[in-house]
């Protein structure tokens, strides 16, 4: 539920307006005047709340919901209780996100942990005289902005964050508290959550019997527009070329991106993924949680890698792989099913042998 201490209660909004916002169809137009003042999950929603159904596993909750209205896929419209207004939409979750952004704009526009009105440099921040901070940027207490760094208008730099010398950060972005950004160029509307580390040394050593000699890392990190990077993720700078995060890519918490990695546009990388050095992810790749990818590989455009997979070789475009070592989802599923059958047979045989001994 939303707490009015953090997110103001929205004004009452009529269902006909809600439907217009998200391009949905109010199944009973006579209910267009009915208003909602908040959102809630199906199982806790009450009078005045808007809910949504995007997964049929929650049909039981839909049947019992007390929400005023529900965003629902056309195939489930008939399952909505009579006392709940149905707003039909082909993409209920996306529609819900659209409505949330209109009802709770403060949640859509991230603010720094210090709060208050945006814009201005805190007297408790340390900004190098040669840094260029555009009007409308916010620098919160404890932040350190290095020499010749540039911060665009509308961008928030959170408390105790360190922006290294010569770093460029675009406009209307957000950098959370206690982040560190060095040797990097950051685009517009980029969201970097708290604790992120960008631009530190890549893990490069010339290994040998006389010891491991450190290889200087002289590349950068380039983060393009509209990227989001989750809390405590690390992105190493390139060794002799750039580490690149493509436009619109979304990275979850606790992800490791190694040096020289190139991530394409609109990729999705879920928590605890590790991508080894010099690997390329083409556009629209999806890596599920805890995937590990070896170095110097290419993951083709639109490929999807299942959770906890270990990728040891290139993945073709649009392929779906899982397991370790990763192989096609279909093959992996057959292998798991076969192993299960063998284990069950072995268990039955062992039980039968024990019965004979006892007899």
Tens of pLDDT, residue by residue over 16-57, are 999 999 999 999 999 999 999 999 999 999 999 999 999 999
Q: How much of the chain, in percent, has pLDDT values that exceed 90? A: 87
Q: Is the pLDDT of residue 112 over 80?
A: no
If pLDDT is split at 50, 70 and 90, which confidence band does 352 have?
A: low
| pLDDT at site 304 | 98
In a domain, 66, yes or no: yes
In a domain, 350, yes or no: no
Determine the Cα–Cα distance for residues 185 and 89; give it in Å rounded to an integer. Answer: 39
Distance from the first to the final alpha carbon of the chain:
63
In a domain, 20, yes or no: yes
The DSSP letter of residue 21 is H
Kind of pairing, strands 162-163 and 144-145? parallel
| Under 8 Å between Cβ of 15 and 4 | no
Higher pLDDT, 136 or 356: 136
In a domain, 60, yes or no: yes
Tens of pLDDT, residue by residue over 178-221, are 999 999 999 999 999 999 999 999 999 999 999 999 999 999 99
Determine the Cα–Cα distance for residues 49 and 84; give it in Å rounded to an integer. Answer: 10
CA 263 to chain centre: 14
| pLDDT at site 4 | 76
Residue-number span of the structural domain to which 70 is assigned: 13-108
| pLDDT at site 9 | 85
In a domain, 71, yes or no: yes
Q: Is 259 part of the annotated catalytic residue set?
A: yes
CATH of the domain at 69: 3.40.1390.10
Q: Is the pLDDT of residue 357 over 80?
A: no
In a domain, 101, yes or no: yes
In a domain, 183, yes or no: no
Q: What are 214's two structure tokens?
A: 């450190």
Average pLDDT, the chain: 93
Q: Could you say which of 174, 183, 193, 259 is catalytic? A: 259
| pLDDT at site 354 | 62
Domain count, the chain: 1
In a domain, 81, yes or no: yes
Q: Is the pTM of this model over 0.75?
A: yes
HSE-up of residue 23 (Cα within 13 Å, Cβ side):
8
Q: Is the pLDDT of residue 105 over 90?
A: no
| pLDDT at site 116 | 57
If pLDDT is split at 50, 70 and 90, which confidence band does 106 have?
A: confident
């Amino acid at each position: 539920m939303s707490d009015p201490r953090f997110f103001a209660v929205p004004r009452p909004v009529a269902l006909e307006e809600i439907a217009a916002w998200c391009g949905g169809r109010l199944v009973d137009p006579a209910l267009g005047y009915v208003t909602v003042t908040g959102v809630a999950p199906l199982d806790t929603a009450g009078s005045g709340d808007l809910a949504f159904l995007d997964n049929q596993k929650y049909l039981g909750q839909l049947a019992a919901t007390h929400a005023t209205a529900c965003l629902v896929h056309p195939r489930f419209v008939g399952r909505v209780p009579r006392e709940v207004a149905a707003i039909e939409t082909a993409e209920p979750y996306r529609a819900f996100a659209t409505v949330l952004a209109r009802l709770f704009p403060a949640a859509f526009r991230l603010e720094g942990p210090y709060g208050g009105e945006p814009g201005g440099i805190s007297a408790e921040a340390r900004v190098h005289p040669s840094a260029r901070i555009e009007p409308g940027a916010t620098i919160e207490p404890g932040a350190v902005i290095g020499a010749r760094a540039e911060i665009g208008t509308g961008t928030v730099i959170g408390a105790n964050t360190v922006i290294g010398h010569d770093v460029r950060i675009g406009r209307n972005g957000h950098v959370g508290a206690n982040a560190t950004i060095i040797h990097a160029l950051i685009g517009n509307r980029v969201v970097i959550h708290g604790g992120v580390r960008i631009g530190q040394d890549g893990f490069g050593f010339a290994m040998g019997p006389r010891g491991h000699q450190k290889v200087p890392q002289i590349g950068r990190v380039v983060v393009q527009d509209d990227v989001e990077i989750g809390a405590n993720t690390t992105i190493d700078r390139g060794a002799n070329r750039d580490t690149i995060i493509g436009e619109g890519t979304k990275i979850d918490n606790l992800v490791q991106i190694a040096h020289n990695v190139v991530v394409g546009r609109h990729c999705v990388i879920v928590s605890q993924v590790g991508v080894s050095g010099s690997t390329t992810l083409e556009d629209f790749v999806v890596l599920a949680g805890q995937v590990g990818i070896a170095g110097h590989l290419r993951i083709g455009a639109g490929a999807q890698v299942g959770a906890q997979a270990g990728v040891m070789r290139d993945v073709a475009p649009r392929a779906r792989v899982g397991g370790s070592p990763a192989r096609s989802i279909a093959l992996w599923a057959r292998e798991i099913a076969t192993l299960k059958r063998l284990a069950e047979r072995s268990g039955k045989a062992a039980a039968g042998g024990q019965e004979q001994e006892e007899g």
